[in-house]
Amino acid sequence: MTAKIFEFDRAIVREPAPSVVHGLRSHGQDDPTFEGIAREHAVYVDALRRVGLTVTALPPLPAYPDSIFVEDPALVFTDGAILLRPGTPTRANEAAELRDCLAAMFDVVRELPEGHVDGGDVLVTPHRIFIGLSDRTDAVGAAALVKLLAEFGGDAKIVETPDEVLHLKTAASLVDEETILATGALAATGIFAGFRLLTVPAGEEGGANVLRLNDTLLAASAYPQTLDLLATHVPELVALDVREVAKIDAGLTCMSLRWKGAIG
């Protein structure tokens, strides 16, 4: 694992299927449109390529409405990949759909042996990996993941999240090596002691999910105060419209798997 944890040159995405409009949601939002999600996903993939990532786009999986969110069923690092066990029954087989792709790209592919973990509950920072317990990630799965991450040189810590948090990264994201953006509720837990914390302005909690790629930070355009807060902390800030994606409880980090390829 590298100290420059947000340096990437490769990514995997999955194209959305029309069934994506039936994706999971926790707060009864309006239904998204397939056209809207497809448009936002295409702009997102273009943003990955613009900052220098080579993107592998996998075909849609109509049987799995949430499969566009490839970060939940797997984790990837320079040294290998881990297939997870998503904590929602409708997503249970998504990891298997990634197995062949990851096996072709990584020499080492491990599989979570028990329990449940969604990748959205795993926040990688330069010196520690946080695993948040949630409705999608249980204590058994988190403990098993701690052991697997140690194989890749990762020091992982299991943390509690507030009840209203869907995923850890719904409410917190890495901005730079020393800075985490978090909602007020998550910041107040103290789990990020030692980091500089930027607290999302009240009413813009949905803006806590941002994605650092090399020298660029991708953030949701729907949260202007959060964008102002972030503007002075990164070399380049790019605002993307993900309002349709947000209707199915998702954001910027979950739509790709990203890593730095091995040298040589």
What residue ranges do the domains of the chain occupy? Answer: 10-259
At residue 1, does pLDDT exceed 70?
A: no
What value, to the nearest 5°, has the Cα angle with vertex 259 and ends 254 and 260?
Answer: 160
Q: How many CB atoms lie within 10 A of CB 27?
A: 8
Tell me the average pLDDT across 4-25: 93
Residue 124 pLDDT exceeds 80? yes
Name the most confidently modeled range: 4-8, 25-29, 214-218, 246-250: 214-218
Over range 168-197, report the average pLDDT: 96
pLDDT at 249: 86
Flag whether pLDDT at 137 surpasses 90.
Answer: yes
Higher confidence at residue 1 or residue 95?
A: 95
38: left (phi over 0), alpha (psi -120 to 50) or beta: alpha
- Is the CB of residue 30 less than 8 Å from the CB of residue 18? no
- Range with lowest mean pLDDT among 23-27, 142-146, 203-207: 23-27
What is the CATH architecture of 10-259?
5-stranded Propeller (3.75)
Give the pLDDT confidence of 49-80 residue by residue, as tens digits.
999 999 999 999 999 999 999 999 999 999 99
pTM of the model: 0.95
Q: Which residues are catalytic?
A: 167, 254
pLDDT of residue 166: 86
